């Protein structure tokens, strides 16, 4: 039964990659990267179970934390982009 | 009892997998950034909860179940927060929810 | 079935790599590089290499993306037009590719137990770990004890990279201007406001930082029993400090962990590693021979591996945080 979930997660990863490649604005790509990250966490958890090695769950936990930090960092650096590069750069606060 | 756990686990894993797939399709097909954020973040969290609870039922009471509970807790906390931060950043940068797709300088790509 | 999953992930990697090469917008390329690292980590995981997968996820997908974005915030975001001779480059690459493909015809089959790589040193390590070192994770035993010299070299490479970046950026905190990008940091700009106006990420982030630290310490000391060790733990702890710096601003993060402390961490970890080696010399054994560190050789091995992994973790943490501050604390003006 784990194979079905693994296949669903892999297909969703491919769809998220398509959004990352297509997305017109940069926020679409960040959304796709975040979704990719959480799907990777799910994939790692299910495959750790499939292999019967529960100590591989540490990787999934580390990955969930790193994904969060990565998305916040990307958003902070988008906010800091120089004025000349961004067309849609709104208020700086 | 074991059969009941198996059936429950199967059901949760299938529904979770379906949610995950629907989220992927939604992120690809929705017309605007904000609708895509809506599709991706809701189904992300819900699908993750269902799949991880389904695996936890199979794990029984062991260290693996504790680790899975920790993963679940962190995903529940961080995934909606990241989506909120993304939507706030997009709104503060000036992207308004509208019918047409907003684009930045990659049009020249 | 697992092979099919691996092949699927590899084909996604090829598509991502093609997209990275073709795009002209470097910000997009950096985000796609993060996705590429994730795919690589998933592949390592499918090949049952958990330590490498953890390191790739922590450093490649997390810290590298942050550092690339920090660099992009300083320079421009559009790729300059390429004026070199493309035909020559294409022909060189094509010839090399054909040679490499021809060379793979002689390789042993994937996972073949009779392949040469499984015949010489690997069975010896697998046998000797149980009797000489007695820890469950053979990877840490090989990394820390059997190949301790190589890991010493790796720690010094990380240390040198940190020094190199700090030289380029001129990390003198009190003087402000440095060699490198020329313009001095102005006093009126506020690069370090952080995500102050985003209330929910701030609250959740502050809630999570102690747990990320705790998890980093768990990964550090759990390296003997499962996937983990100094490199991964250093990256996770550095990620926690980077999260703090993102949420509260770099000045606040520098008040908590000042530059002197970070440089002390960088040097101290490498010194600790070398110090363990010298201590083994002074106690009568060879350099980095941990068996002489305690009365029982196996306990000595455990103490040695614990100390050197701590040294590795301390250096990696110091270097990654210093490099982050060097990139993120400058402005482009």
Q: Which tens digit of pLDDT belongs to each residue from B57-84?
A: 888 777 888 889 999 999 999 999 999 9
**Chain A: residue nearest B106 by CA?**
A24
Q: How confident is the model at residue B100 (pLDDT cuts 50, 70, 90)?
A: low
A70:C212 CB<8 A: no
B106 within a domain of the structure (yes/no)? no
A64 within a domain of the structure (yes/no)? yes
A51 within a domain of the structure (yes/no)? yes
Range of the domain at A49: 2-79
B50 within a domain of the structure (yes/no)? yes
B17 within a domain of the structure (yes/no)? yes
Predicted local distance difference test score (pLDDT) of residue A89: 33
C25: β partners = C78
Domain count, chain A: 1
In chain C, domain spans: 1-78, 120-180+190-333
B107 within a domain of the structure (yes/no)? no
- For residue C144, which of C131, C155, C157 has the smallest C-alpha distance? C155
B32 within a domain of the structure (yes/no)? yes
**Chain B: residue nearest A14 by CA?**
B24
C27 touches chain A (CB under 8 A): yes
d(CA B67, CA A61): 8
Q: What would the mean pLDDT of C25-37 be, rounded to a whole number?
A: 89
Predicted local distance difference test score (pLDDT) of residue C180: 37
Touching subunits of C (3+ CB pairs, under 8 Å) are A, B
DSSP 8-state secondary structure symbol assigned to residue C212: H
pTM of the full predicted structure?
0.86
Beta-carbon pairs below 8 A across chains B and C: 29
A28 within a domain of the structure (yes/no)? yes
Domain count, chain B: 1
This model of the complex carries an ipTM of 0.87
Q: What would the mean pLDDT of C111-138 be, rounded to a whole number?
A: 83
A58 within a domain of the structure (yes/no)? yes
Tokens standing for residue A24: 């017109």
Cα C24 to Cα C29, C34, C305: the distances in Å are 8, 17, 46
- Give yes or no for residue C196 having a pLDDT over 80: no
B54 within a domain of the structure (yes/no)? yes
Range of the domain at B14: 2-89
B102 within a domain of the structure (yes/no)? no
B108 within a domain of the structure (yes/no)? no
A90 within a domain of the structure (yes/no)? no
A85 within a domain of the structure (yes/no)? no
Say if CB C64 and CB C238 are below 8 A apart. no
- Give yes or no for residue A88 having a pLDDT over 70: no
Tokens standing for residue C1: 């079935």
Instruction: Indicate the residue of B81, B108, B109 with minimum beta-carbon distance to C200.
Output: B81
Helix then strand count (H, E) for chain A reads: 3, 0
| Tens-digit pLDDT profile for residues C281-303 | 898 888 888 888 888 888 888 89
| Tens-digit pLDDT profile for residues A30-40 | 999 999 999 99
C227 touches chain A (CB under 8 A): yes
């Amino acid at each position: 039964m784990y194979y079905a979930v693994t296949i669903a997660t892999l297909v969703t990863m491919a769809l998220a990659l398509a959004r990352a490649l297509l997305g017109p604005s940069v926020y679409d790509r960040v959304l796709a990267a975040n979704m990719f990250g959480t799907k990777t966490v799910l994939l790692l958890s299910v495959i750790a179970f499939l292999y019967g090695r529960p100590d591989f769950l540490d990787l999934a936990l580390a990955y969930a934390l790193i994904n969060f930090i990565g998305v916040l960092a990307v958003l902070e650096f988008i906010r800091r982009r120089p004025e000349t590069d961004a067309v849609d750069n709104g208020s700086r606060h | 009892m074991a059969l009941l756990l198996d059936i429950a686990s199967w059901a949760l894993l299938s529904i979770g997998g379906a949610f995950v797939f629907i989220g992927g399709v939604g992120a690809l097909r929705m017309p605007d950034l904000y609708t895509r954020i809506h599709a991706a973040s809701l189904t992300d969290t819900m699908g993750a909860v269902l799949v991880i609870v389904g695996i936890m039922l199979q794990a029984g009471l062991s260290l693996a179940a504790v680790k899975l509970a920790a993963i679940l807790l962190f995903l529940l906390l961080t995934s909606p927060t990241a989506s909120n931060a993304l939507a706030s950043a997009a709104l503060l940068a000036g992207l308004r929810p509208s019918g047409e797709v907003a684009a930045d300088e990659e049009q020249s790509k | 079935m697992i092979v099919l999953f691996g092949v699927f992930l590899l084909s996604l990697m090829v598509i991502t790599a093609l997209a990275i090469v073709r795009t002209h917008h470097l910000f997009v390329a950096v985000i796609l590089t993060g996705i590429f690292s994730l795919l690589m980590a998933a592949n390592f995981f499918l090949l049952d290499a958990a330590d490498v997968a953890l390191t790739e996820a922590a450093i490649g997908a997390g810290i590298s993306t942050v550092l690339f974005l920090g660099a992009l915030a300083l320079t421009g975001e559009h790729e300059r037009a390429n004026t070199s001779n493309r035909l020559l480059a294409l022909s060189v690459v094509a010839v090399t590719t054909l040679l490499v493909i021809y060379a793979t015809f002689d390789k042993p089959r994937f996972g073949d137990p009779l392949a040469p790589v499984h015949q010489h040193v690997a069975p010896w390590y697998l046998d000797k770990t149980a009797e000489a070192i007695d820890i469950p994770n053979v990877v840490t035993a090989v990394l820390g004890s059997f190949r301790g010299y190589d890991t010493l070299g790796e720690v010094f490479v990380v240390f040198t990279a940190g020094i190199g970046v700090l030289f380029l950026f001129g990390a003198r905190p009190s003087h402000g201007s440095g060699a490198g990008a020329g313009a001095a940091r102005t006093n009126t700009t506020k690069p370090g406001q952080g995500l102050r106006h985003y209330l929910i990420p701030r609250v959740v982030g502050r809630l999570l930082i102690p747990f990320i630290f705790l998890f980093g310490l768990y990964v550090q000391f759990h390296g003997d029993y499962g996937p983990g060790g100094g490199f991964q733990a250093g990256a996770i702890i550095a990620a926690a400090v980077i999260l703090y710096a993102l949420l509260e601003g770099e000045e606040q993060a520098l008040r908590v962990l000042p530059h002197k402390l970070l440089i002390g961490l960088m040097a101290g970890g490498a010194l600790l590693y070398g110090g363990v080696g010298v201590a083994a010399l002074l106690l009568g054994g060879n350099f980095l021979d941990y068996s002489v560190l305690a009365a029982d050789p196996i306990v000595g091995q455990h103490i040695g591996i614990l100390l050197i992994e701590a040294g590795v973790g301390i250096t990696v943490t110091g270097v990654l945080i210093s490099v982050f501050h060097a990139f993120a604390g400058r402005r482009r003006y």
